[in-house]
């Protein structure tokens, strides 16, 4: 992969990171579906982005992904000066992070690969620059063991696609510095994300654990012939999914208790709560189940290509964000990162900040 569009010299080698609002250069290491989604997001928010991925044809795939995502991002509102021309694709990892003021790692989910890659990033990135992993399940404690400065390594877990879904879960490992976690949370907020800062590590984090519980039950139903892929998807999109877009499962269940709220719901329905909890172990993902899932998804796609489904999904997410009033705040879409950072700092001073759990 070749380098294009250079944007100035490396930052100073101070041991402390820049203030989040002053960050201009972001490096994305790993440029697949998640890494490429991060690239698109940061470009749309007005950052200079360098990217590196060792896979064959990675640059072409990345630029194609960004191009496909751009119409959706234009609907959301681009930051002032945002452009795909601010993407630099490099031929080495070292080039990608040499001038970085923040690093987002999105390599495949293989623990040994993550460990060695994070150690390489730690060795190559300027001192003090925070390095975040997009891992969907590994605790940072297990990944930071080979780094010389593990204190700047943490998890910044997005949801797919990162350029549209606001959520990012931030959590450090046992040797991560608390100030690095705080810095990352503020940076993501400045970059337009909705941040949950976790106080402790949890395999799979929060949203994935909830999502995987639903996924596990879906696999059981298909494996046992109890429901088809289409029926399972329809049961969510035509049912609770409509509520979950603006009200989470806990508050939704509280409404089931009427005026008595959650207390009445638990007291009234408590005895029957466990009746559906009959399969808490994951099913065996054998060949018949795999085939049933693949065939069911092909049927549900009804001839639509992956690209068509992605476009349909993106437009649907935009429509939901618009309907629920969660498009960028008035005036913020066209702001530079620094201007958004100043606005976020004002929010912090007024008592507004990231959610913690």
- CATH top-level class of 20-205+327-356: alpha beta
Quote the percentage of the chain above a pLDDT of 70.
88
Using DSSP, state whether 25 is helix, strand or coil: strand
Within a 10 A sphere around the Cβ of 251, how many other Cβ atoms?
12
Considering Cα of 55, then 61, then 66, then 72, what sign does the dihedral take?
negative
Backbone angles phi, psi at 28, to 5 degrees: -115, 115
- 147 with 122: CB under 8 angstroms? yes
CA nearest to 32, candidates 5, 66, 1: 66
- 45 with 82: CB under 8 angstroms? yes
- 64 with 96: CB under 8 angstroms? no
Average pLDDT over residues 53-71: 97
Q: Is 247's pLDDT higher than 80?
A: yes
Average pLDDT over residues 198-211: 94
The domain limits of the chain are: 20-205+327-356, 207-323
Q: Is 348's pLDDT higher than 80?
A: no
Q: Is 7's pLDDT higher than 80?
A: no
d(CA 176, CA 170): 12
The answer to whether domain 20-205+327-356 and domain 207-323 are alike in fold is no
- 136 with 204: CB under 8 angstroms? yes
CA nearest to 341, candidates 102, 55, 62, 58: 102
Lowest-confidence region among 56-70, 269-283, 330-344: 330-344
Higher pLDDT, 270 or 194: 194
pLDDT in tens, 135-194: 999 999 999 999 999 999 999 999 999 999 999 999 999 999 999 999 999 999 999 999
Using DSSP, state whether 347 is helix, strand or coil: helix
Binding site annotation covers 32? Answer: yes
Strand partners, 158: 168
pLDDT band at 204 (very low <50, low <70, confident <90, very high): very high
Binding site annotation covers 31? Answer: yes
Binding site annotation covers 316? Answer: no
Would you state the pLDDT for residue 106? Answer: 98
Average pLDDT over residues 251-256: 87
Backbone angles phi, psi at 147, to 5 degrees: -80, 145
Lowest-confidence region among 20-34, 86-100, 338-352: 338-352
Instruction: Confirm or reject CATH 3.90.1150.10 for domain 207-323, answering yes or no.
Output: no
């Amino acid at each position: 992969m070749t380098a294009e569009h250079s944007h100035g010299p490396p930052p100073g080698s101070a041991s402390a990171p820049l203030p989040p609002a002053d960050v201009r250069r972001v490096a994305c290491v790993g440029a697949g579906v998640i890494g490429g989604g991060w690239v698109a997001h940061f470009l749309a928010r007005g950052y200079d982005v360098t990217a590196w991925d060792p896979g064959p044809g990675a640059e072409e795939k990345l630029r194609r992904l960004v191009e496909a995502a751009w119409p959706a991002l234009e609907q959301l509102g681009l930051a002032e000066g945002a452009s795909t021309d601010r993407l630099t694709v490099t031929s080495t990892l070292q080039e990608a992070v040499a001038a970085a003021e923040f690093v987002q790692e999105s390599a495949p989910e293989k623990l040994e690969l993550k460990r060695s890659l994070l150690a390489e990033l730690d060795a190559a990135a300027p001192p003090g620059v925070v390095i975040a992993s997009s891992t969907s399940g590994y605790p940072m404690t297990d990944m930071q063991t080979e780094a010389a400065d593990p204190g700047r390594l943490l998890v910044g877990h997005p949801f797919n696609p990162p350029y549209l879904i606001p959520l990012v879960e931030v959590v450090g490992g046992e040797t991560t510095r608390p100030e690095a976690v705080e810095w990352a949370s503020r940076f993501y907020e400045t970059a337009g994300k909705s941040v949950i800062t976790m106080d402790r590590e949890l395999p799979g984090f929060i949203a994935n654990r909830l999502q995987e519980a639903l996924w596990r039950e879906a696999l059981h139903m298909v494996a046992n012939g109890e429901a088809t892929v289409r029926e399972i998807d329809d049961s969510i999109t035509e049912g609770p999914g409509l509520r979950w877009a603006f009200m989470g499962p806990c508050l939704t269940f509280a409404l089931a208790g009427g005026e008595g709220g959650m207390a009445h719901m638990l007291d009234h329905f408590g005895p029957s709560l466990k009746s559906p909890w009959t399969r808490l172990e994951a099913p065996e993902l054998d060949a018949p189940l795999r085939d049933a899932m693949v065939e069911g998804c092909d049927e549900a796609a009804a001839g639509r290509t992956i690209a068509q489904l992605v476009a349909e999904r993106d437009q649907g997410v935009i429509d939901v964000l618009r309907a629920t009033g969660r498009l960028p705040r008035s005036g913020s879409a066209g702001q530079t990162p620094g201007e958004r950072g100043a606005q976020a700092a004002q929010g912090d001073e007024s008592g507004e900040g990231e959610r913690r759990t």
